[in-house]
Every structure is written in C-alpha cells, then in structure tokens.
Structure 1
C-alpha cells in the first residue's frame, strides 16, 4: 500500500489539499484509493460547516493526478502538471460528505492518454454505496526545464 507521504511526493497538491490517504491498488489502466479526511472540520474545501458532494469531483481529479504520478515514477520520471478542463456525465448521489462515518474510496480508470492530455472515468463510494461518478479531462502542461521554476 502507498501512503499519504508517498502520494504527496507525486502530486502538486500539498497539505490539506492532498485529498487521498492511501493507494490500495494500481496498474497501467486504473487506480483505487482511500481517504478519511472528509470528516475533518479543517478540510480546505469546506464551506458553511459542510463539505458538499460537488467536491467529490476534486477527489476524482486528484485520483487522476496520483495515477499519472505513479506511472511517471515507475518510468523513472516526474508527471507533468495538469489543468482540469472538463467534467462530463457527473452524477452526485448525496448532498454532502462530512457526515459520512467511514472512508471514501475511489476507482479511476484511464479512458485516453496522450502526451498532452488525459481522460478518466471515476467512481467514489462510501461503505459500498455510490456517492459520485463521472468523467474528467486534463490538459497536461509542459514540464519546466531543470533549474527553471519559482524562486
């Protein structure tokens, strides 16, 4: 199993914005993850004391980022940062998440991969009950050359 520290090393999302706690399994075409942070009163996506179901789209998008990071790492590289450009077919089956007692789990499947883009389908469940599903598309940015960056 891959833990939170290893996940944070693979993606640009840090601190509380790193939403996944564990990678349960992954292969070239898919990934399964688990998170427990949806009940945290300090969750960065909370508003009005609630974490709304629409934020499951960010969980789905981050599942893509983790999968891309694992693939790049396995090939000896670093994943290019991406920008979420589209959500399609999203269905939310709950209104909020912060009142769910157990872990969230996600299954994300790669639908298309190109040098400059990715498309995935995601399903997020809680205790076997479907919370959200949909498809997400990301445009990948060219990585910065070594030595160039902030600072």
Structure 2
C-alpha cells in the first residue's frame, strides 16, 4: 500500500488538491485507490458547502496521474506532465458526494496509450455502489496551463 505522502511525491497536485489518500494496489495496466477527502470541509472543489458528483471526474483524472507516476518511477524516471483533454462516456449515478460516510474507491485502467497520449477508464464506488464511470484522455508532455489574464 502507498500512503498519501507517497502519492504527493508522484503527482503535481499538492496540499488539499491531492484528492487520494492511498493506493490499495496497482500493476502496469491498472490502479486501485481510496480517499476520504470528499468529507473534508476544506476540499478545494467544494462550492456552497457541497461537493458535487461531477468532481468525481477530477478524482478519476488524478487516479491516472498517480498511476502514471508509479509506472514512471518503476521505470527509473518521472512522469511527464499531462493535460486532461477529453472526458467521454461519463455517467454520474449520484448528485453529490460530500455526504457519503465511507471512503471513495477508484479503479482506473489504461485503455490506449501512445508516446504523447493516454486514455483510461475509471469507476468510482462508495460502499460497493457505483457513483461514477467514464473515460478520460490526457496529452503527455503538454505544458501545464498558467493563469495569465487575457488581453481585452
């Protein structure tokens, strides 16, 4: 098992923006993670004191990042930066997640990968019930966006 500190060493998401607490298992094709961050009132994705199910897409994307970091570390390197470019087939089976008492559990698996991109499928459950599922695509090596004002 890999704890939160181990996850923080693998991904660019730091502090409260790192949503996963532990890696329950992984191999070259898939990863399983757990989180309780959905219960945290300081979760940066919350608005109006709620955390909506749409934010499970970010949980899925971060699962991809953790998996990429683990795979890169095992190969003796570091993961390339990635940029989420598409979500497909996303199905949300609840409206919100901040009121769920137990840990969220995610399974993510590589579907397609190339030198500059990857596509994963993800499924997120709570107490065995499916909350969300979908696919996410990432461009690798893409510069991460910066917050610069656009000229008017």
Query: What is the TM-score when the length of structure 2 is the normalising length?
Result: 0.92
Q: 2:85 aligns to what?
A: 85
Instruction: Give aligned pairs, total.
Output: 143
Does 2:116 correspond to 1:116?
yes
Runs of at least 4 residues off by over 6 Å: none
Instruction: Give unpaired runs (5+ residues) of structure 2.
Output: 144-152
Structure 1 residues not aligned, in runs of 5+: 144-151
1:56 and 2:56 are equivalent in the alignment: yes
Q: Distance in 2 between matches of 1:123 and 1:142?
A: 25
> What is the CA deviation profile of residues 86-110 of structure 1, one whole-angstrom value per residue up to 9, with x for unaligned ones?
0000000000000000000000010
Q: Name the CA distance, whole Å, in 2 between partners of 1:122 and 1:48.
A: 27
- For the residue of structure 1 that corresponds to 2:55, the secondary structure is helix
2:149 maps to: none
**Separation in 1 of the partners of 2:130 and 2:142?**
35
TM-score, reference length from structure 1? 0.93
Say whether the 8 Å CA contact 2:83–2:142 is kept in structure 1: no
Q: Which residue of 1 aligns with 2:45?
A: 45
The answer on whether the counterparts of 2:117 and 2:138 sit within 8 Å (CA) in structure 1 is yes
Match of 1:30 in 2: 30
Using the alignment, how far apart are the partners of 2:30 and 2:73 within structure 1?
15
Quote the Cα distance in structure 2 between the aligned partners of 1:74 and 1:137: 22
